[in-house]
Amino acid sequence: MKKCVQCENGSYAKNIVTNYKYLTPMGVVIIEGKSHFLKCEKCEHLVITGETYQKWNLLILKSLTEKSGALNAKDLQFILSVLPYQQKEIAEAMGKNKSTLTYYKNGKNPIDPLFDYAIRDVIRDFLVGGNETLTRLQATFKFEGETTIKKVKAN
């Protein structure tokens, strides 16, 4: 087994922990059930594997798609930290500026209900290994150059 990075004397062994309190941008989320860790046999230092973190993050994303009520700034911070897309990419796909997402994330503006709905669909696709919603949105909001209205005639 791997040598402990904390005490340097012990080695890690597989361990199972139940109902772990996981600190996220949304605050503490209790992970119910069994989770796998590595624990030093001497100093009891715990190491959470990347596989465990990934599993937890996917479970939290799934719960956010099912959340009743609107997503909030902390929810969006978590979502954007886990999804493999850049903030700019998501913003453009939704027809928004990157700064709008920053305002949503910082709680300066409430999250637009249509954005809330669309980001939940993006998450659902991601959870099943797809990106159809994001691709469809990108095609919908793709603009070829900027156009400006210079004159409007009123009768």
- Residues 84-109 have pLDDT tens digits of 999 999 999 998 999 999 999 999 99
Distance CA 33, CA 19 (A): 6
According to the model, what pLDDT value does residue 2 have? 84
- Mean pLDDT of the 10-34 span: 91
Q: pLDDT-derived band of residue 79, with 50, 70 and 90 as boundaries?
A: very high
User: DSSP code of 142?
Assistant: -
Per DSSP bridges, beta strands 12-24 and 27-40 are antiparallel
pLDDT greater than 90 at residue 146: no
Instruction: For residue 124, give the amino acid letter.
Output: R
Domain boundaries, the chain: 1-48, 57-155
Predicted structure pTM score: 0.80
- pLDDT > 80? residue 149: no
